[in-house]
Amino acid sequence: MPRLSLRWRVAVVLGIGSLLLTSALAILVWNLTSGYMLRQREQSATRQAEVNARLVDQALSTGSDGLEDLLTGLTTGPDSTVLLYRPGQVLTSGRQVDPQVLPDELVELGRHDTPASQRLVVDGVPVLAVSLPISSTDGAYVELAPLVQLDQTFRFLSVLLITGVVVSGLLGVALGSWASRRALRPLTALTAAASRIAGGDLKARLPTQTDPDLAHLATTFNTTADALEQRVLRDARFAGDVSHELRSPLTTMVNAAAVLRRRRAEIPGTAGRALDLLTSEVDRFADMVVDLLEISRADQQADNTDLETIDLASLVDNVLDSHPGTEVPVRTQPPGPQVLGDRRRLDRVVNNLLDNAERHAGGAVRVAVLSRDGHARLEVDDTGPGVPPELRDRIFNRFDRGDRAGSRGTDTGSGLGLALVAQHVQRHGGSVWVEDRPGGGARFIVEIPEARP
């Protein structure tokens, strides 16, 4: 089961706390209110029954002939019942009930001069049965006082309290979610700024905080980001200066190697093999210096300033036309996707992917330019050995040549081509990765957000 986020854990805890607190208060209110109302109703019914029992006792002791009329007058409503137990006779007035449904113990307590009361449900009506002695006839007077209104009040009160508890719990969750969102807003801003820096945006900073508890955090983060930006720019300038200083002697070496390569047939044996090794390393060194200059230039230019709307399919066609020895049809979905980007950098992305396929997999066999979910998608397929899953992230790092690290030769590359691809794609807000090609080989995929019309 996935773990809840911190915001939802705070909201749930606050909701449960609110639910428990309001439940305890609701139980307390229910016990106090229902107990008080029930005691008041029992006392009222008992006092009324005692008055009525004395009237009946006086009527019996004086031999009055209007006993049934008296019993009828003692009923207080359609749901009330009066029962007079006399030796061998039971008189009933009001709502008619079967005397057998009353507990015998209740009636016997009244006959033995012991007042008693009990809550019952008689024929579906809740009542309070009060049993009182009738001394003149050795009988018992039983009055059934209805509790219908009290029962309705209890049901209404219970629904009201339960609803209040549920609403209180939901409000607690809502309040916890709102409070935790506000409390975690600085952490969200910190995470976003750190993600931007990790993605290459070294100018990301936290806004100035007025809260004294957060001001130190924002200041420390911004100071660290400033130091990191200066360090990266300093390293990039150093790499650029070194690469630039190497260009002059490197140009001389490349020209000298070209002269020696043209006269290779005149240099036999070990000297010839040494010449081949020298010229290949000079070529590799030249490619590395060019890539280093490109990387250092990209590191020092944090923002894309020369952006234009580019038809990605046309750009790929132009690169393929100018790429020697590459005849691969481009699969497109008309209309071709448009991107907002730097044409020079996107040219370099396509060139490097084609060079990578040619150097390590015998050349590209399929190039596709598609549109997927608001992104322009470039796919370059080859039929080489593929890229093992454990190396698919590493190959986009600088100077990482995967399983060919440590080897030399013109076919191994400098380890900077795919790093440049990742860097340029990232500058365009896109992503690049490699996966298995159906049927064998590798498929390099670049996705860049499409330009908005």
Is it the case that residue 1 has pLDDT exceeding 80? Answer: no
Task: Confirm whether 184 is domain-assigned.
Answer: no
Is it the case that residue 303 has pLDDT exceeding 60? Answer: no
In 95-207, the DSSP E strands lie at 116-122, 125-134, 139-146
Task: Confirm whether 406 is domain-assigned.
Answer: yes
- pLDDT tens, position by position, 316-333: 988 888 877 667 878 887
Task: Confirm whether 413 is domain-assigned.
Answer: yes
CATH number for the domain spanning 375: value is 3.30.565.10
- Identify whether residues 411 and 371 lie together within a single domain: yes
Amino acid at 19: L
H or E element: which one contains 369?
strand 364-372
Q: Note whether 129 and 109 are within 8 A (CB).
A: no
C-beta contacts of 222-231 below 8 A and 24+ residues apart: 225/193, 225/197, 228/197, 228/202, 229/202, 229/203
- Identify whether residues 291 and 346 lie together within a single domain: no
- Identify whether residues 31 and 140 lie together within a single domain: yes
- Identify whether residues 281 and 400 lie together within a single domain: no
- Identify whether residues 43 and 148 lie together within a single domain: yes
Helices marked H in 63-147: 67-74, 104-111
- The mean pLDDT value for 408-413 works out to 51
Q: Note whether 56 and 69 are within 8 A (CB).
A: no
- Identify whether residues 74 and 114 lie together within a single domain: yes
Q: How far apart are CA 6 and CA 13, in angstroms?
A: 11
Three-point CA angle 199, 421, 419, nearest 5°: 75
Answer with the residue of higher pLDDT: 194 or 167.
167
Which of these, 232, 348, 345, lies nearest to 296 by C-alpha position?
Answer: 232
- Identify whether residues 293 and 308 lie together within a single domain: no
H or E element: which one contains 331?
strand 330-332
Structural domain harbouring 319:
304-449
Domain boundary among 153, 185, 220: 153
| Residue 266: band (very low, low, confident or very high) from pLDDT cuts 50, 70, 90 | confident
Task: Confirm whether 335 is domain-assigned.
Answer: yes
Task: Confirm whether 33 is domain-assigned.
Answer: yes
- Identify whether residues 341 and 443 lie together within a single domain: yes
Is it the case that residue 400 has pLDDT exceeding 50? Answer: yes
- Identify whether residues 319 and 348 lie together within a single domain: yes
Q: How many CB atoms lie within 10 A of CB 418?
A: 25
- The mean pLDDT value for 189-200 works out to 80
Domain boundary among 153, 179, 202: 153
- Identify whether residues 243 and 318 lie together within a single domain: no
Is it the case that residue 406 has pLDDT exceeding 50? Answer: no
Task: Confirm whether 181 is domain-assigned.
Answer: no
Q: How many CB atoms lie within 10 A of CB 241?
A: 11
- pLDDT tens, position by position, 54-108: 888 888 887 777 777 788 788 877 888 888 888 878 888 888 888 888 888 888 8
Count the alpha carbons within 13 Å of 185 in the hemisphere toward its beta carbon.
9
Task: Confirm whether 191 is domain-assigned.
Answer: no
Is it the case that residue 405 has pLDDT exceeding 50? Answer: no
Q: Note whether 25 and 172 are within 8 A (CB).
A: no
Please give the tally of structural domains in the chain.
3
pTM of the model: 0.51
Answer with the residue of higher pLDDT: 243 or 170.
170
Domain boundary among 104, 135, 153: 153
- Identify whether residues 136 and 51 lie together within a single domain: yes
CATH number for the domain spanning 73: value is 3.30.450.20
Task: Confirm whether 161 is domain-assigned.
Answer: no
- pLDDT tens, position by position, 201-259: 778 888 887 778 778 888 888 898 888 888 877 776 776 676 667 767 777 887 888 88
- Identify whether residues 272 and 142 lie together within a single domain: no
